[in-house]
Amino acid sequence: MYHLPMEETRLDSKDWDSAVFLWVALLCLVAPAFTTLELVLTNPRYAPFLSALVWVWGLALVLLFLWLHEKSCARTLLTPERIEFRSRVYHSFIAWEDVTGIEKYSTGDKGGVWWRMRICYGSGRRREVPGVPCKGDQPDERFAKNFATLENYWAEVSGRTAPEAS
């Protein structure tokens, strides 16, 4: 069921182990350090160029893992005034009066189908709701519950009619 807008509601997200992402990012920095040391000792002529290349690659990997961490470990909080997106790095929000729609959509390839939801707001802008995707041919029960909670909360706050359960 959904919650009344008088209380704050947190969308249920998977309990990803955020420490795994941070350890992998740390390892992505340790590996270039040892590679640079090896390059300097074995090939001093090309060491500056190769070291820079290794460090750029390591930094790119760190940024990739931090991005993955933000996408999968962020939380969504519903308040009477707005939808808040929180993570370790950023905190943003969308006011309910700016919301024009809520969509669920799927993306798929050979690896399977991923279900996600996004908020439509402003003049055609969209923002993916972090931390709630699911994988499967159909959305799972947790995803359906989160989508219904988001739709019903939006309907209650904006005075719209809540959509029929499907």
- Give residue limits of the domains in the chain: 18-71, 95-158
CA distances from 166 to 97, 139, 147 (A): 25, 12, 11
- Say if residues 73 and 85 touch (Cβ distance below 8 Å): no
Q: Would you state the pLDDT for residue 14?
A: 59
Burial class (CB in 10 A: 0-12, 13-18, 19+), 68: middle
Per-residue pLDDT of the chain (166 residues; tens, 9 = 90+): 444 445 667 676 655 555 666 677 677 777 777 777 777 778 777 777 777 877 888 788 778 777 777 766 778 888 888 888 887 777 888 998 899 889 988 888 777 888 888 999 988 899 888 777 777 788 888 888 888 888 888 888 877 765 655 5
Q: Would you state the pLDDT for residue 125?
A: 92
Q: Would you state the pLDDT for residue 126?
A: 92
CA distances from 153 to 10, 55, 120, 124, 150 (A): 11, 46, 15, 21, 5
Number of Cα atoms under 13 Å in the Cβ half of residue 88: 12
Q: What whole-number distance in Å separates Cα of residue 106 and Cα of residue 76?
A: 19
